[in-house]
Homo-oligomer: A and B are copies of this chain.
Amino acid sequence: MDTKSERALKGPQDGAQFLNGHEPPRPPPPARRLAIISWTTFSVGVNFALLAMMFVQPSSPSDWFSKARLLPQEHLKKTNGSAPCYNSANRVLCLPRPPSPRLSFSASEHLLLCSGNGHYVIEDEETGACHCHACFSGGHCEQLDPDCHLNLFHGDPTLFEEYWLTQPDAPTVIPSWQGMSYFAHRNNDYLFVDYFLEQAIRKIHGMVGNAVTEGRYIVLGVGSTQLYQAALYALASPESPSPTPVVSAIPHYSSFEGCTKFMDSRKYKWVGDAEKFKRSATKDQPYIELVTSPNNPCGSMNKPVVNGNGSVVNDLAYYWPHYTAITAPADYPIMLWTMSKISGHAGTRLGWAIVEDASVAAKMAYFIQLNTLGLSQDAQARGITLLRAIMSSYENQRAGGVERERQPFFHYGQAVLEGRWRRMRQALDNTSRFDLPEYESSFCSFLGKNFRANPAFLWLKCKAEEDCQQLLKENKIIARGGAVFGMSTQYVRVSMLDRHPLFDLLLARLASLK
């Protein structure tokens, strides 16, 4: 699994290799795959949720379902978000009923039936089953495999799932006739940009105070991954006889290199290390510098290093209060943002660029048009709902609590990450194997308090001269080695954003490394 993860960054070599630690695709035998999500014999583990339901332990799927019909319906009604529900055979069913298997819309089914460690898959009105997240098993995903390989290779932000599962109500409802046209608003200047989403983006930056949006253009993309490529396309010098160099101070985001190289474009070329480039570059040489701040992998507040006549792209994915103090609105010519790291909705693939110059914005939008003919209006609908839900979590608070009150989102996120970092530092105190970067405390204008950064990643350096990724791997922690960030193998990046039982397991394993 781990070696596959490593190789995945290089891509498939001979067709046998697939993505990110997964096997090459096989045409799925439907019977076998359904079996994965069919009922297993109910195990001996009884978790808190089942206790809360005060059930005796059923012994078979059919037995279980006879009990499930007795589920506390009031609770289900209260927690299932706003999916429209009705009673059928003493069981609460949520509309629209799927004609074949799909995930339940009811948060309570995931929390109660699958212990919050899996998703409940409805097969028909009478049967369903938990589809457990990695490292969990059991009919109710109640068993955490203590020997499992902890895959913290990606920055998959599943940490936030708990917030959305437990806070009532923020479903995205898309009627069948909505968003059919290629164009969000046919007579709109912004062909593929939903006006309501644009409003919500400007409003949330205004509320948090983390970016200047007035007088700027909003360009949307399929995640900031695509917008990064759109920016390269827009900024590559058309006059230059040779490809425009692309540089970034090390350690830099590991995907920059792959995303810059994979098309083998004549427009730009990956050079990497910005400091080294600065020393060798001539005064008027064009270049594109990528600045991630807070930085991925190490959390530092980076600034451009070249300071020549090139262009700068500011990747601000993590400049939100859960990760770092907001000290001033970011104000750069090209700023990249993504839903993934705000609300945790990486799967929505929604990013935006705030762009100062009209012609750069137009070229970026033109890239999006040629590359994917715009981006999903369903993703945009989701973005509107989620950004509004985050903002309304503050409006509700200010109103002193009304119905459907939500926990203020950034306060929640900051508290969870701060707690994780406190516990991580305690765990690392138990071991003398690693060094951690230092983070200074700053005053956050949004949260109104001083705090240290709580980065999305743990950027570890092994004190001994050893391959730090390999050390973690031997301890069943799959993480990303320093080399792809432009650093030595003595460094390794570990996600801090996984689900809490897996984070706990990570702590235990790190603390045990003497």
List residues of chain A with CB under 8 Å of any chain B CB: 11-12, 14-20, 22-28, 30, 33, 81-84, 95-96, 98-103, 105, 107, 110, 131, 133-134, 151, 154, 156-158, 160-161, 164-165, 167, 169-191, 195-196, 198-200, 214-217, 222-223, 225-226, 229, 233, 255, 258-259, 262-267, 340, 344-350, 357-363, 365-367, 369-379, 381-382, 384-386, 388-389, 391-392, 395
With a cutoff of 8 Å between Cβ atoms, the chain B residues found around residue A180 in the complex are 157-158, 160-161, 164, 344-347
Identify A198's interface contact among B26, B28, B161, B371, CB under 8 A. Answer: B28
| Complex: A344 Cα to B176 Cα, angstroms | 10
> Which residue of chain B has the shortest Cβ distance to A338 in the bound complex?
B373
**In contact, A179 and B347 (Cβ under 8 angstroms):** yes
28 A-B pairs within 8 Å (CB atoms) are namely A15-B363, A16-B359, A20-B191, A22-B188, A25-B361, A27-B214, A28-B189, A28-B195, A96-B385, A99-B395, A100-B200, A102-B196, A105-B175, A158-B181, A164-B176, A172-B173, A172-B176, A222-B376, A223-B372, A225-B373, A255-B370, A263-B263, A265-B265, A349-B372, A349-B375, A372-B372, A378-B379, A378-B381
**In contact, B191 and A22 (Cβ under 8 angstroms):** yes
**In contact, A177 and B107 (Cβ under 8 angstroms):** yes
> Which residue of chain B has the shortest Cβ distance to A219 in the bound complex?
B25
By Cβ-Cβ distance, the 3 closest A-B pairs, closest first, are A15-B359, A347-B377, A164-B177
**In contact, B199 and A30 (Cβ under 8 angstroms):** yes
With a cutoff of 8 Å between Cβ atoms, the chain B residues found around residue A81 in the complex are 175-176
Q: A84-B84, A189-B23, A379-B376 are in contact. Are A178 and B12 (CB under 8 A)?
A: no
**In contact, A264 and B262 (Cβ under 8 angstroms):** no
**In contact, B362 and A18 (Cβ under 8 angstroms):** yes
| Complex: A473 Cα to B20 Cα, angstroms | 51
Q: What is the distance, in angstroms, from A135's C-beta to the closest C-beta of chain B? A: 10
**In contact, B376 and A350 (Cβ under 8 angstroms):** yes
| Complex: A226 Cα to B376 Cα, angstroms | 13
11 more contacts with CB within 8 A, not counting A19-B366, A25-B190, A259-B370, are A14-B359, A20-B369, A26-B189, A83-B175, A99-B392, A101-B199, A102-B384, A151-B186, A266-B266, A349-B372, A378-B382
With a cutoff of 8 Å between Cβ atoms, the chain B residues found around residue A160 in the complex are 180
With a cutoff of 8 Å between Cβ atoms, the chain B residues found around residue A370 in the complex are 11, 225, 255, 258-259, 262
> Which residue of chain B has the shortest Cβ distance to A266 in the bound complex?
B264
Q: A25-B365, A172-B378, A265-B263 are in contact. Are A229 and B358 (CB under 8 A)?
A: no
**In contact, B156 and A181 (Cβ under 8 angstroms):** yes
> Which residue of chain B has the shortest Cβ distance to A268 in the bound complex?
B264
> Which residue of chain B has the shortest Cβ distance to A198 in the bound complex?
B28
**In contact, A25 and B371 (Cβ under 8 angstroms):** no
| Complex: A386 Cα to B378 Cα, angstroms | 13
Identify A27's interface contact among B217, B223, B362, B391, CB under 8 A. Answer: B217
With a cutoff of 8 Å between Cβ atoms, the chain B residues found around residue A372 in the complex are 222-223, 225-226, 349, 372
With a cutoff of 8 Å between Cβ atoms, the chain B residues found around residue A157 in the complex are 180
> Which residue of chain B has the shortest Cβ distance to A165 in the bound complex?
B177
With a cutoff of 8 Å between Cβ atoms, the chain B residues found around residue A164 in the complex are 175-177, 180
Q: What is the distance, in angstroms, from A98's C-beta to the closest C-beta of chain B? A: 7
**In contact, B183 and A175 (Cβ under 8 angstroms):** no
